[in-house]
Amino acid sequence: MENIKGKVVVITGASSGIGEATALLLASHGAKVVLAARRADRLEHLKKRIHTEGGEAEYLVTDVKLRKDLFKLVDFATNRFGRMDVLVNNAGIAHLSRIDQTEVEDWEEMIDINLKGVLYGIAAVMPVFKTQGSGHIINIISTSGIKIVPLQGVYAGTKNAVRTISEALRQESNGKYRVTGISPGFINTELADHMKEPAIQMATREMAAKIAISPDAIAGAVLYAVSQPDNVDVGDIVVRPTVQD
């Protein structure tokens, strides 16, 4: 884990769930974390907690739907710490519905956050990584992009797109920077809070109570990937409950 100490890590969607757990874990191992999300109060609270526990953190309110926000975020991190080593593209949202319900606004929001938000992050950080000659992009994907089920078609589509982009970017890098895709299964997060259909929301919460695992499990996977020697690229990790199909 010595390889992680002092690294500058930017995490989107850091105000809760996987992003929050990742920030806490990496900071506890000596990383300098830059927290990004839309909820300033949650970011401020997390920053204070990390400082109280002896870590180093800064934050910037960021909406990954806005390309300019991602460029501001990267500029903020590099100006504050002088470099940037890792981008964790974690921000995401899930709207579950049948495709023939044509919930187009929900589709657009998932595309804007889950897919375009990741691409904006890559676009913002790539000039820095090229100048440094090193860097690491970690994309939080989903097992929904591995096993396709009803109600998750468009959500899974955005996640499969990120999976494809991650692998293409890894191959194109020729070892100049590392790319990791991490696919969480059923994780205990605020996922159900964003669901509009009461029946789907209730079913998701019931399932979460039965099988969901802690966001700490995904944070551990991020820590593992980041802590590898510079010549080791962990390409793809799947982390899910042992009982999940």
C-alpha dihedral sign at 3, 124, 34, 118 = negative
Question: What is the DSSP code string of 54-86?
Answer: T-EEEEEE--TTSHHHHHHHHHHHHHHHS---E
* CATH code of 87's domain: 3.40.50.720
Q: Over the stretch 120-159, which tens digit does the pLDDT of each residue have?
A: 999 999 999 999 999 999 999 999 989 888 999 999 999 9
Taking the model in full, what pTM does it have? Answer: 0.94
Answer yes or no: is 160 within a domain: yes
pLDDT of residue 82 exceeding 70, the answer is: yes
Q: How many domains does the chain have?
A: 1
pLDDT of residue 94 exceeding 70, the answer is: yes
Query: Distances in Å between the alpha carbon of 183 and those of 79, 141, 191, 235?
Result: 31, 5, 15, 11
Residues annotated as catalytic are 155
Answer yes or no: is 230 within a domain: yes
Q: State both tokens at 104.
A: 């187009």
**Domain housing 181:** 2-9+60-188+213-239
Confidence (pLDDT) at 188:
86
Answer yes or no: is 39 within a domain: no
